[in-house]
C-alpha cells in the first residue's frame, strides 16, 4: 500500500509564449498594489524588467526594483532586497530572472512575515508562517525554482550553501514564458538545462519518489534530453526553448515533492568553495554518480536511458541501466560544458577540501535519498573520479 504523501505546487501557473504579459492582470485581480521586483542587472539591460514594470503599471500596480542579485544568492542580497521591500511599502514580491533572483525573492517573502535573518531558517521545516505573495517569472530553463519549496542561499561568512525547505517557500504564482529564455547564451542554456535534467533524474530515483512525480520526471527527462542540444546550438529555436522550459518546470515540481539525491548533495559544496555555477558542478558529477548509483535501482536507470533516447531493447537490465551513463556523458560532451580544471579548480585543492565537502554533502541530507547510499570515503573518491573524468572528456 502507498502511504499518504503531500504533493505541492504553485497555486496558479501561467505557461506558454507571451505568458509574462499576464503578470499585471494576475496581481491586480488579487488586490495587490505595489510590487518589489527582485532581479539582476542583465534582466534590466535586456529590457525584461522594464516590460514587467510597464505591465504592472498598466494594471494600476506600482513597483520598485532591486537589481543587486549578480551572483548566486547570498545573505547580503536577501538583506538588501528585504530593506527595499519595507522602504517601498510593498505587498507582493515579483522575481524576474534565473534561480538566483527567484531564490533571493523566496527568502525575502518569508522574512517579511517571519522576521530574523535567513541563516536561522537553514534546514527543512523551520519557517513558521506563510510569506507575503510571491510571483516567480523564470528567464532560464533550469532551476525550476518557480515551482519548488526550496531556496539555497550562500552564507559568505562560512562559504556554506544553506538549503532551506518549507511549503511556505512555494511561489503563489509561476509565470513560465519560454520567450524569456531566448536571450540566454549557450553556456547558460547548457548549465541550466543540465541542472533541470539532474532534478528530474534524481527525483525519479529518490527513495522519496511518488507516482505523481514519476510521471513528471520521465516527461522532463525526455523533453530536456531531446531538446537541449538544439536550444544550445540555436537559441532562437522556439520549439526547443518551449520544450526545455516545460521540462524544467516539470522537473522543479517533481524534485520539490520527491527531493534530490547524491549529485546535489555533492554539488552544493563545489559551488560554495569554487563559485562555479550550480548546473556546471552538477554536470561534472552526474555521470560518475550515476555509474556509482545504478546498482541500487537498475530498473529506474534503465527507464532513464530509454527516456533519453537510448536503444535498450534486448539488453540485460544492468546493460540497459549502463546506457544512462553513456547518454549522460555524450550529452555533457556535445554541449561543451567545461571541466572543473578548465574553470580554474586545481585537483590538489579539490581533494584538500573533499573531506569537509563530503561532510557538508552528508549533512544536507540529499545523499540519504540516493538509491545507493555512499559512505563518506566513497563521496571523497567520487570527487576525485569526477575531476579525472572531466579531464579525459576534454582531453
Over residues 282-312, the pLDDT tens digits come to: 999 999 999 999 999 999 999 999 999 999 9
The pLDDT score that the predictor gives to residue 181 is: 95
The pLDDT score that the predictor gives to residue 389 is: 87
**Model confidence pLDDT, tens digit, residues 97-145:** 999 999 999 999 999 999 999 999 999 999 999 999 999 999 999 889 9
The pLDDT score that the predictor gives to residue 212 is: 95
The pLDDT score that the predictor gives to residue 159 is: 79
The pLDDT score that the predictor gives to residue 359 is: 96
The pLDDT score that the predictor gives to residue 72 is: 85
Low-confidence ranges of the chain (pLDDT < 50): none
The pLDDT score that the predictor gives to residue 156 is: 87
The pLDDT score that the predictor gives to residue 141 is: 93
The pLDDT score that the predictor gives to residue 395 is: 55
Indicate the length of the chain as a whole number.
Answer: 395
The pLDDT score that the predictor gives to residue 394 is: 60
**Model confidence pLDDT, tens digit, residues 312-340:** 999 999 999 999 999 999 999 999 999 99
CA–CA gap between residue 8 and residue 353 (Å, rounded):
36
Amino acid at each position: 500500500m502507498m502511504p499518504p504523501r503531500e504533493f505541492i505546487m504553485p497555486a496558479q501557473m501561467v505557461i506558454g509564449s507571451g505568458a509574462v504579459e499576464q503578470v499585471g492582470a494576475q496581481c491586480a485581480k488579487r488586490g495587490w498594489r505595489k510590487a518589489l521586483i527582485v532581479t539582476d542587472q542583465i534582466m534590466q539591460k535586456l529590457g525584461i524588467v522594464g516590460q514587467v514594470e510597464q505591465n504592472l503599471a498598466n494594471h494600476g500596480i506600482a513597483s520598485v526594483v532591486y537589481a543587486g542579485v549578480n551572483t548566486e544568492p547570498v545573505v547580503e542580497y536577501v538583506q538588501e532586497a528585504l530593506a527595499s521591500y519595507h522602504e517601498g511599502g510593498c505587498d507582493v514580491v515579483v522575481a524576474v530572472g534565473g534561480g538566483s533572483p527567484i531564490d533571493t525573492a523566496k527568502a525575502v517573502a518569508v522574512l517579511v512575515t517571519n522576521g530574523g535573518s535567513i541563516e536561522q531558517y537553514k534546514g527543512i521545516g523551520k519557517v513558521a508562517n506563510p510569506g507575503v505573495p510571491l510571483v516567480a517569472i523564470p528567464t532560464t530553463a533550469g532551476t525550476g525554482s518557480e515551482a519548488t519549496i526550496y531556496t539555497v542561499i550562500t552564507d559568505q561568512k562560512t562559504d556554506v550553501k544553506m538549503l532551506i525547505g518549507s511549503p511556505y517557500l512555494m511561489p503563489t504564482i509561476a509565470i513560465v514564458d519560454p520567450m524569456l529564455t531566448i536571450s540566454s547564451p549557450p553556456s547558460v542554456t547548457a548549465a541550466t538545462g543540465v541542472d533541470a535534467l539532474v532534478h528530474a533524474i534524481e527525483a525519479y530515483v529518490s527513495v522519496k519518489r511518488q507516482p505523481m512525480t514519476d510521471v513528471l520526471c520521465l516527461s522532463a527527462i525526455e523533453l530536456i534530453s531531446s531538446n537541449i542540444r538544439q536550444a544550445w546550438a540555436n537559441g532562437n529555436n522556439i520549439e526547443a526553448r518551449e520544450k526545455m522550459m516545460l521540462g524544467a518546470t516539470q522537473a522543479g515540481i517533481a524534485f520539490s515533492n520527491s527531493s534530490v539525491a547524491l549529485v546535489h548533495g555533492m554539488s552544493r559544496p563545489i559551488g560554495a568553495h569554487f563559485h562555479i555555477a550550480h548546473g556546471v558542478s552538477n554536470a561534472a558529477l552526474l555521470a560518475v554518480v550515476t555509474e556509482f548509483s545504478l546498482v541500487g535501482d537498475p530498473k529506474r536507470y534503465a527507464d532513464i536511458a530509454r527516456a533519453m533516447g537510448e536503444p535498450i531493447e534486448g539488453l540485460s537490465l544492468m546493460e540497459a541501466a549502463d546506457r544512462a551513463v553513456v547518454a549522460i556523458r555524450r550529452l555533457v560532451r556535445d554541449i561543451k560544458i567545461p571541466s572543473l580544471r578548465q574553470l580554474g579548480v586545481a585537483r590538489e585543492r579539490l581533494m584538500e577540501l573533499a573531506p569537509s565537502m563530503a561532510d557538508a554533502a552528508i549533512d544536507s541530507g540529499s545523499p540519504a535519498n540516493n538509491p545507493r547510499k555512499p559512505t563518506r570515503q566513497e563521496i571523497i573518491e567520487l570527487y576525485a573520479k569526477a575531476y579525472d573524468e572531466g579531464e579525459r572528456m576534454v582531453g
